[in-house]
């Protein structure tokens, strides 16, 4: 039996690792070994039978398959460098990163691990925290076939409802994720614009939300609910479902690649500027849909709505 490890227990990682641990327990397989910068975040996973390990290097030493789900490229690079530079044998190990990172980061990571006779799979995900909790994420997967065939049964009907196989080049999975985010961020911008329009014209956000959910599907409907329930600007004590800085990172990855490839993404550029303005105004504790607050301000409304937090002191 292969020992499996997991690093990164944020909004997505904790939900995904919990589903994986439940699956392992149901198969009477070895319990997941987990780690996170803030170890206390793993307590619910410990309650499911997972084993805590505070050091990433020690976790890697004990595991044959190691998942990561972290904020961004530099966190992933730091983790990988810490093990490749540790003198630990990585031979035959499979590293699976589910974070959203730039294809270039994926390519460099794959090379670094190949030099150590380890495999690297990029397995980024589509869907937010509630979908992760339900185990219904869509995964893209890319990397050596032998490794991806070993890992797919740990994903399909465990953490995800669908795996899109992008082949042996791991960078293609990351590229698909970045491309998908062009749709995600633009859709959040579009829903935000429509809801501000509905409020200012007197139509009201209720009928608009009903229409968005019915006519444009549950994803768009879910984005509308993030606005009308105030989740776009949650209480300062909470962790946003999909933090504003993560969406800014995603948009910047897409825009940097679009420039290199002579593609214009004007809608995404507008959404990025609004997200950055939202973060400048209200700080880090914002959801990726928080361009809505800025759209409200541009229409003469307050950044906050009746369901959101009411400022930066509440
Ligand atoms: N949220 C979504 O809806 C969603 C959907 C699809 C893809 N994604 C992508 O999935 C990834 C994770 O997203 P998330 O929403 O789970 O993010 P999150 O809630 O912000 O969690 C980030 C994770 O990275 C860790 N981390 C951050 N900085 C670190 C550092 N300097 N050193 C070590 N660990 C660090 C955090 O540790 P602590 O717990 O100690 O802070 C946490 O485990 C991101 O790449 C995001 O773009 C997110």
> Which atom number of ligand 1 is nearest to the Cα of residue 101?
45
User: Which pairing describes strands 33-35 and 51-52: parallel, antiparallel, or unpaired?
Assistant: parallel
- Rounded distance from Cα 242 to ligand 1 centre (Å): 9
| Nearest protein CA to atom 29 of ligand 1, as residue | 75
CATH number of 175-313: 1.10.1040.10
Question: Which residue out of 177, 259, 298, 307 is catalytically annotated?
Answer: 177
The answer to whether 241 and 11 have CB atoms below 8 angstroms apart is yes
Quick one: residue 269, left, alpha or beta (phi over 0 = left, psi -120 to 50 = alpha)?
Answer: alpha
Protein residue with least CA distance to atom 44, ligand 1: 71
Separation CA 21–CA 34 (nearest Å): 10
Nearest partner of 189 among 122, 270, 279, 121, judged by Cα = 270
In the chain, which residues fall in CATH 3.40.50.720?
4-168
Domain 4-168 fold = Rossmann fold (3.40.50)
Q: Which of 50, 44, 37, 55 is nearest to 15 (CA)?
A: 44
Q: If the chain, 314 residues long, is cut into consecutive pieces of 10 residues, what is the mean pLDDT of each piece? A: 96 98 98 98 98 98 98 98 97 98 98 98 96 98 98 98 98 98 98 98 98 97 97 95 97 97 98 98 98 98 97 77
C-beta 12 within 6 A of ligand 1: yes
290 ligand 1 Cβ < 6 A: no
pLDDT (0 to 100) of residue 313: 75
pLDDT of residue 312: 87
Domain(s) of CATH 1.10.1040.10: residues in the chain = 175-313
- Write down the residue that tokens 């090379």 correspond to: 111
Question: Residue 204 Cα, ligand 1 centroid: separation in angstroms?
Answer: 35
How crowded is residue 266: how many other Cβ atoms within 10 Å of its Cβ?
8
| pTM confidence score | 0.96
Report pLDDT for 314.
Answer: 54
pLDDT (0 to 100) of residue 1: 83
- Interval between CA 69 and ligand 1 midpoint (Å): 6
Known catalytic membership, residue 225: no
């Amino acid at each position: 039996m292969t020992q499996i490890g997991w690093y990164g227990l944020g909004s997505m990682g904790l939900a995904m690792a919990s589903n994986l641990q439940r699956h392992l327990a149901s198969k009477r397989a070895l319990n997941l070994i987990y780690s996170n910068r803030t170890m206390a975040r793993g307590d619910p996973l410990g309650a499911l039978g997972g084993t805590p390990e505070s050091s990433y290097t020690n976790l890697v030493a004990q595991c044959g398959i190691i998942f990561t789900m972290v904020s961004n490229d530099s966190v992933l690079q730091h983790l990988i460098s810490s093990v490749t530079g540790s003198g630990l044998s990585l031979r035959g190990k499979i590293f699976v990163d589910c974070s959203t990172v730039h294809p270039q980061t994926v390519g460099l990571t794959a090379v670094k691990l190949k030099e150590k006779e380890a495999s690297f799979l990029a397995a980024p995900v589509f869907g937010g925290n509630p979908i992760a909790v339900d185990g219904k994420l869509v995964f893209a997967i890319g990397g050596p076939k032998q490794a991806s065939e070993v890992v797919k049964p740990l994903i399909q009907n465990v953490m995800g409802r669908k795996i899109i196989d992008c082949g042996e080049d791991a960078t293609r999975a990351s590229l698909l994720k970045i491309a998908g985010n062009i749709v995600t961020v633009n859709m959040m911008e579009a829903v935000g614009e429509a809801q501000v329009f509905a409020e200012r014209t007197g139509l009201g956000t209720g009928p608009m939300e009903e229409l968005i959910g019915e006519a444009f599907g549950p994803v768009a409907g879910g984005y509308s609910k993030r606005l009308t329930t105030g989740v776009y600007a949650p209480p300062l004590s909470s962790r946003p479902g999909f933090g504003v800085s993560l969406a800014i990172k995603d948009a910047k990855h897409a825009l940097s690649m679009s420039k290199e490839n002579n593609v214009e993404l004007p809608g995404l550029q507008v959404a990025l500027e609004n997200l950055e303005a939202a973060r400048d105004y209200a700080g880090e504790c914002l959801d990726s849909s928080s361009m809505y607050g800025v759209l409200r301000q541009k229409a003469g409304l307050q950044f906050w709505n009746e369901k959101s937090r009411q400022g930066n002191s509440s």
